Structure 1
């Protein structure tokens, strides 16, 4: 079973969707609670929300497996279940709402975690690393948008949260010039709130792959799910809501593409004929 779907692009920009997957291998699902089998903490519909991006030349790397199988945005090098407690573990044992993922006695042990790392985590990251290296070789620059979504807390965003939340791994994963341009794009929207916090650490992908000094830039963007979908089962995509969000995302991805061309190197730069 493939752990990801990959579609190459024609620009230096790649979009990563590590939490969009919903697949649960049968041997894992049988030990999970009924609620967990509904994979409520999925970054629902992001592949659909961003489906304009290939027309702009951006590539796509999207997980197929649920983050309950393994969280592709966590560090696999730590011992045991790794990465923290409950929802922040490499193989989560509780949901974001602190409900159990597994039936009693069915939690993955260290051997099972290592198996999932080999089966699901490494293939995704090998493809991610290879594509960033290929973009850097082809264009002299690579830009990764690590795309996420999250359920809003109640009827209003939690303190320090907004409709669009952008981070750059403690201001180390992307050029400050790129970050400012992107934050300005978000701030220009009258219909949505946005927050750029360069001090926020971000997830493993932003922290591990972002090397602006080597012309590899990673920006993590999280969207509030209430802006484009129903946050309760069956987690329905809302085209009426998404029609307002998508133009903001299109401007955001367009800004990524334009900035990447401005900083591409040598003969690999885009040439405009007009």
Structure 2
């Protein structure tokens, strides 16, 4: 359920949405649209693999349709007034139901999933942040995400390629956010934005406590930058290899960062 690699740098990569596993009891409730798991952050763990040395990664293999590890466990919406999906999503990103009629999880089932799938991921993530904090006196969480570049139910138009989220500058020091933004802005052939449609999910907002030496920044990539945005959701090696040097520069910059 959890895949953890430990490094000695201050950088921890969170991977909450790359998992594709549906436990049998959850899969039995889903309709064909849910079983298609279209809203996966496809290939993100492979895209970032091996870019820099000594980083820590924490990944859940559980799919977000079971429970979304990047949502507030209380169920409070991250984006009030905007279309989004919840802690245990009932629809996909196109607003279509993912459960068979009458099979939606009730409060008891949501609580069970929160205990067995959501909490262990965050316990592991906090443990790794604490571990690297003990080494360096600070920690940086880089939360790795991707999404289709065109989803009318969630946002208008086409999403920029790099979408940086720091909850309007509150989750990390500006000396972390600003260089990341500069790298993205300087990446030829790519577009970027900071705190646009995606300002950082619950993970970024929950762990980002720069005053305590724990920094968090989210990167939401448009999937068009490295893969085919339709079934079977294939990795596009040539596109990915163009993107990876920019991601490498970002991760190396974060690994090398030290508080002033």
Q: Same fold (TM over 0.5)?
A: yes
**Structure 1 alignment gaps of length 5 or more:** 265-274
Runs of 4+ aligned structure 1 residues displaced above 2 Å come to: 82-87, 157-161, 197-201
SS in 1 for 2:38: coil
| TM-superposed deviation, 1:201 | 3.9
In the other structure, the counterpart of 2:31 is 33
1:130 maps onto 2:131 in alignment:
no
Report the Cα distance in structure 1 between the residues aligned to 2:198 and 2:60, rounded to whole angstroms: 24
In the other structure, the counterpart of 1:172 is 170
Aligned CA distance change for structure 1 residues 198 and 179 (closer, same or farther; 3 Å):
farther
Deviation digits for residues 72-108 of structure 1 (CA, Å, limit 9, x no counterpart): 01111248xx777985210000000011110100000
- The question of whether the paired residues in 1 share the 8 Å contact of 2:85 and 2:92 is answered with no
Report the Cα distance in structure 1 between the residues aligned to 2:198 and 2:26, rounded to whole angstroms: 33
In the other structure, the counterpart of 1:62 is 59
| TM-superposed deviation, 1:170 | 2.2
Report how many aligned residue pairs link the two structures. Answer: 256
In the other structure, the counterpart of 1:269 is none
**Residue 244 (structure 1) aligned to one of 242, 245, 259:** 242
Deviation digits for residues 13-58 of structure 1 (CA, Å, limit 9, x no counterpart): 00001001000011111111112112100000001000123x4221
- The question of whether the paired residues in 1 share the 8 Å contact of 2:149 and 2:158 is answered with no
SS in 2 for 1:235: coil
TM-score (norm. length: structure 1): 0.88
In the other structure, the counterpart of 1:209 is 207
Report the Cα distance in structure 1 between the residues aligned to 2:230 and 2:50, rounded to whole angstroms: 26
In the other structure, the counterpart of 1:227 is 225
Deviation digits for residues 88-130 of structure 1 (CA, Å, limit 9, x no counterpart): 2100000000111101000000000000000001100001111
- The question of whether the paired residues in 2 share the 8 Å contact of 1:170 and 1:198 is answered with no
TM-score (norm. length: structure 2): 0.92
In the other structure, the counterpart of 1:267 is none
Aligned CA distance change for structure 1 residues 166 and 238 (closer, same or farther; 3 Å):
same
- The question of whether the paired residues in 1 share the 8 Å contact of 2:150 and 2:158 is answered with no
Map 1:35-114 → 2, pairs under 5 A: 35-53=33-51, 55-78=52-75, 87-114=84-111
In the other structure, the counterpart of 2:259 is 263
In the other structure, the counterpart of 1:190 is 188
